Amino acid sequence: MATLTIRNVPEDLVERIKEVAARNGRSMESELRDFLLQRYVTRQQVLEEIRNRPPGFPSATAREIRRWIEKGRRSSP
């Protein structure tokens, strides 16, 4: 495993991360590791989650999704 070093992190951000980690019952390092794993999922992980959706989970076509996006863009200020 690799080690990451992040410099110049604002103190208020560090405090927020510590608070969230404490609420979740883990260290700040563990909290950040979990965040990164969730944020940077692989394409394969996404496809697996889609395949494992519960029965009856609503689905949408690419066309419907594009239509929702366009509708949202038109209604934005």
Distance from C-alpha of 43 to C-alpha of 34, rounded to nearest angstrom: 18
Would you put residue 10 in left (φ > 0), alpha (ψ -120 to 50) or beta? beta
Using one digit for the tens of pLDDT, what is the confidence trace for 19-41? 999 999 999 999 999 999 988 98
Between 54 and 10, residue with greater pLDDT: 10
Structure tokens at 14: 């560090």
pTM of the model: 0.59
The domain segmentation of the chain, as residue ranges, is: 10-53
Q: Is the pLDDT of residue 77 over 80?
A: no
User: Which of 2-11, 20-29, 67-76 bottoms out in mean pLDDT, i.e. has the lowest?
Assistant: 67-76
In this prediction, residue 55 carries a pLDDT of 86
Q: pLDDT over 70 for what percent of the chain? A: 97
Say how many residues make up the chain: 77
